[in-house]
Amino acid sequence: MCGPNLPSSLIHTPRYVDDNKERFIEVLREAVAIQSVSVWPKKRPELLHQMEWAKTKLEALGATCTLNKIGDQVHPRGGIVPLPPVLTSQLGNDPKKKTLLVYGHLDVEPALLDDGWDTEPFVLTEKDGKLYGRGASDDKGPVIGWLHAIEAYQKNGLDIPVNIKFVLEGMAKSDSEGLYDFVRDEGLKARPWVGADEEDLKFLKKIKELKDRFFYNIDFICISNNNWVGKEKPCITYGLRGMCYFNITIECGKKDVDSGVFGGNVHEAMIDLMYLMNSLVDVNGKILIPGIMDDVAELTPEEEKLYADIDFDVEEYRKDIGHNELIHHGDKVKTLMARWRYPSLSIHGIKGAFSEPGAKTVIPWRVVGKFSIRIVPNQDPLTVAEQTRNYLKHKWRKRDNRNFMKVSVMNAIIDPWQADTTHHDFEAGRRATQIVYGVEPDLTREGGSIFIIRTLQRATGKNIMLLPMGASDDNAYSPNEKIDIRNYIEGTKLMAAYIHEIAKA
């Protein structure tokens, strides 16, 4: 990375990161120890502690910070609990400089040792060059990487060439509840955004001083909240799938009954549910809902060629997830397209059925099946939801019994997102990757979803780039989440280099 033609910031910042590697790992250890699980109501004090921890770290860098209260949550498990505050921060306010907005989250997935962890999930454990702990990769490690990149500039007496704003939340694992309204209130531009509803348009009239809003005057947005498509080669991400999440509720009576007394005489809710769930997708993953593929963009030969050069090992991918066989039988291009270019349907669980060890001969009176559809650009989530409801109602009419059936769409509706890869921020990301890793990054999409990304895009009118730090096998949603030390350290250098390169845009 060092060379006679590199500016001083690209020589001194990576050297500083290397010299402080062990201390940076200790900072991550501090963060991982805070059990900031947003879906556990009892951990809300930990979440508040986590946001205050980040505020202290940012203020030590000279940033001005605000913990913004965003109200209370009616928790799905019952009761009312306070939402963790949204942390906004600004470092630099030079009108001659561009302004970069960094989004991240500090809440994590639930984790218990009994879930299959080999180590305590909230104790950062180093083993074979990897750092194991909940949040190490998603998203505490990347957020901390940004802080250390800034520190590397400051400790070397280097001017940070852009103004940097942070918006950090604590509810990303709980549908980013409260953040949508906050972003809209703090940043809706003086023009209707695409898809603005009547409520949005009314709100526009209330905004007087846009220049005083936090999301005003943003030039670039960068998010480090996803992973490489492989383990060795870095990538930059320009697209995400969206999501619609559904419940199918079946009721066959008013109480659970015994199968010995009533089996063979009642239309069982569970059997009806299995019939409907089995009608959604075939053995090869094809979604069976009519019209679902109509709005998906046709694949062009030029686009198909882009997949051929992506560094991705299908067999390694299969082994990492522990499956005996993948649907597309080792075809790299088809596997990648199925992962992020095309919609997919997944069944997640059943509420109300017996699931404990042993045998219980109950016929449940009410069961709820849960499934989701990941949607892609050009698909409208409301259209997909209506197609799905109509299809299941049609299948239910053919079932022809008098049980109660209802299809409902949960609040977890996320628009798909796709960025302009010719934009200045992607050029800066490419150059920064070449400087740090010595390779041209793969341009990738991703199959997952980020709740707030389209809201940020609409509220600011700016392009967004995803600059991942972690590798494909980091287990962000699973036991034994980790980040490789290499990714944590080199990723921090990448963020420092990106700060340098984006200033040239």
Q: Token digits for 175?
A: 């549908």
Residue reference for tokens 């420092």: 496
CB distance 311 to 233 below 8 Å: yes
pLDDT at 199: 59
pLDDT at 209: 47
The DSSP code sequence of 314-369 is: HHHHHHHHT-S--TTTT-HHHHHIIIIIS-EEEEEEEESS--SSS---EE-SEEEE
pLDDT, tens digit (0-9, with 9 covering 90-100), for 209-224: 445 678 888 999 999 9
Using a 10 angstrom Cβ sphere, with 0-12 exposed, 13-18 middle and 19 or more buried, the burial of residue 464 is buried
Weakest-pLDDT range from 4-8, 298-302, 353-357, 400-404: 4-8
Closest CA to 307 of 337, 340, 338, 339: 337
Looking at residues 418-438, what average pLDDT do you find?
A: 96
pLDDT at position 505 is 79
Question: The tokens of 126 are what?
Answer: 């180093």
Q: Are 50 and 36 in contact (CB under 8 A)?
A: yes
pLDDT at 460: 86
Among the ranges 175-189, 320-334, 491-505, which has the highest mean pLDDT value? 491-505
Phi, psi values for residue 350, rounded to 5°: -130, 125
Q: Are strands 80-82 and 482-484 parallel, antiparallel or unpaired?
A: unpaired
Confidence bin at 192 (pLDDT 50/70/90): very low
| 371 within 8 A of 252, measured Cβ to Cβ | no
Q: How far apart are CA 437 and CA 421, in angstroms?
A: 20
- Is the per-residue pLDDT at 121 higher than 90? yes
Asked if pLDDT for residue 207 goes beyond 70, the answer is: no
pLDDT at residue 257, rounded to an integer: 94
Residues written for the chain: 505
Q: What string of H, E and C letters represents the secondary structure of 382-399? A: HHHHHHHHHHHHHHHHHH
Q: Helix, strand, or coil here: 358? A: coil
CB 209 within 8 A of CB 448: no
Contact 441, 234 (CB under 8 A): yes
410 pLDDT higher than 60: yes
CA dist., res. 416 & res. 412, Å (int)? 13
pLDDT above 90 for 181: no
Distance CA 364, CA 353 (A): 6
Burial of 78 (0-12, 13-18, 19+ CB in 10 A): exposed
Query: Looking at this protein, which amino acid is placed at residue 63?
Result: A
Residue, of 78 and 406, whose pLDDT is higher = 406
Q: How far is CA 213 from CA 36, 79, 217, in A?
A: 28, 33, 9
Is the alpha carbon torsion for 432, 438, 443, 447 positive or negative? negative
The C-alpha angle 289, 372, 449, rounded to 5 degrees, equals 120
Left if phi > 0, otherwise alpha if psi is -120 to 50, otherwise beta: which for 368? beta
pLDDT in tens, 100-115: 999 999 999 999 999 9
Q: Does an H or E element contain 185, and which?
A: helix 179-187
The reported pLDDT for the residue numbered 188 is 55
Report how far residue 23's alpha carbon sits from residue 461's, in angstroms, rounded to the nearest whole number. 38
Residue 4 has pLDDT above 60, yes or no: no
Q: Which residue has the higher pLDDT, 251 or 205?
A: 251
Distance CA 71, CA 49 (A): 17
d(CA 458, CA 215): 11
Instruction: Tell me the backbone φ, ψ of residue 321, rounded to 5 degrees.
Output: -90, -5
Confidence label for 68 from pLDDT (cuts 50, 70 and 90):
very high
219 within 8 A of 384, measured Cβ to Cβ: no
pLDDT in tens, 331-379: 999 999 999 999 999 999 999 999 889 999 999 999 999 999 999 999 9
55: helix, strand or coil: helix
Question: Could you tell me the strand order of the sheet in which 482-484 lies?
Answer: 125-127, 130-132, 482-484
Which H helix or E strand runs over 82? Answer: strand 80-82
Residue percentage of the chain with pLDDT more than 70: 94
Which helix or strand (DSSP H or E) is residue 280 part of? none
Cα–Cα dist 466/481, whole Å: 20
**258: closest CA among 343, 373, 362, 351?**
362
3-class DSSP state for residue 222? strand
Residue 208 has pLDDT above 70, yes or no: no
Please report the pLDDT score of residue 187 as a whole number. 67
**Weakest-pLDDT range from 64-68, 352-356, 431-435:** 352-356
Rounded average pLDDT over 23-48? 97
Please tell me the predicted confidence (pLDDT) of residue 423: 95
Give the pLDDT band (50/70/90) at residue 305: confident
Average pLDDT, rounded, for the chain? 92
Can you give the pLDDT at residue 490?
98
3-state SS assignment for residue 235:
strand
The per-residue pLDDT for 198 is 62
Quote the CA–CA distance of 236 and 491 in Å, as a whole number.
Answer: 12
Q: Which residue has the tokens 């895009």?
A: 457
Helix (H) or strand (E) holding 155: helix 140-155
